[in-house]
Amino acid sequence: MKFLRNLLASTLGFFIALFLIFLFFIAIASIIGSEDEIIVKSNSILELDLSTPIKDYAPKEDNPFAEKLGLTDNKLALNKIINAIENAKTDTKIKGISIKTTYINAGVAQTQAIRAKIEDFKESGKFVYAYNDVYSQKNYYLSSVADSLFLNPVGAIDFKGLSTEVLYYKDFEDKYGVKMEVIRHGKYKSAVEPYLTNKMSDANREQTTSLLKSIWSEITGAISKSRNISIEQLNLIADNANGRNAALSKENNLIDGIIYEDEYKEKLALHTDKKINTISLEDYINSGKGRISSTAKNKIAVIYAQGQIMYAEGNENIIGQGIINKAIRKARKDKNVKAIVLRVNSPGGSALASELIWRELELAKKDKPLVVSMGNLAASGGYYIACNANKIVAEPTTITGSIGVFGAIPNFNKFASDIGINAEQVSTNNNPNYSVFEPMNDKFYNVTKEGVEHIYTTFVNRVATGRNMTFEQVNEIAQGRVWTGKEALKNGLVDKLGNLNDAIVIAAELANIESYKTRNYPTYKKELKDVLKFSPFVKASKEEILKEALGDENYQLYNNINQIKNLKGIQARMPFILQIK
**Residues with active-site annotation:** 189, 380
- Beta pairing partners, 408: 182
CA distance 501 to 516: 13
The angle that helices 351-367 and 321-333 make with each other, rounded to 10 degrees, is 0
Cβ neighbours of residue 362 closer than 8 Å, sequence gap 6 or more? 388
Residue 24 neighbours by CB distance under 10 Å: 10
Q: Which of 145, 149, 35, 134 is nearest to 85 (CA)?
A: 145
The SS3 assignment for 157 reads: strand
Cβ neighbours of residue 187 closer than 8 Å, sequence gap 6 or more? 201, 203, 479, 480
CA distance 511 to 517: 13
Q: What are phi and psi of 218, to 5 degrees?
A: -70, -45
DSSP per-residue letters across 475-509: HHH-TT-EEEHHHHHHHTS-SEE--HHHHHHHHHH
Q: Are 182 and 406 in contact (CB under 8 A)?
A: yes
The angle that helices 231-239 and 202-227 make with each other, rounded to 10 degrees, is 120
Residue 297 neighbours by CB distance under 10 Å: 12
* Burial zone of 185 (CB within 10 Å; 0-12 exposed, 13-18 middle, 19+ buried): buried
User: Which residue blocks in 34-124 are alpha helix, DSSP H?
Assistant: 64-68, 78-90, 108-121
CA distance 98 to 50: 12
Looking only at the bridges linking them, the beta strands covering 405-411 and 482-484 are unpaired
CA distance 519 to 302: 6
Containing 6, the helix (H) or strand (E) segment is: helix 2-33
Q: Are 32 and 65 in contact (CB under 8 A)?
A: no
Containing 573, the helix (H) or strand (E) segment is: strand 571-573
Q: What angle do CA 46, 51, 57 make, to 5 degrees?
A: 85
Cβ neighbours of residue 461 closer than 8 Å, sequence gap 6 or more? 471
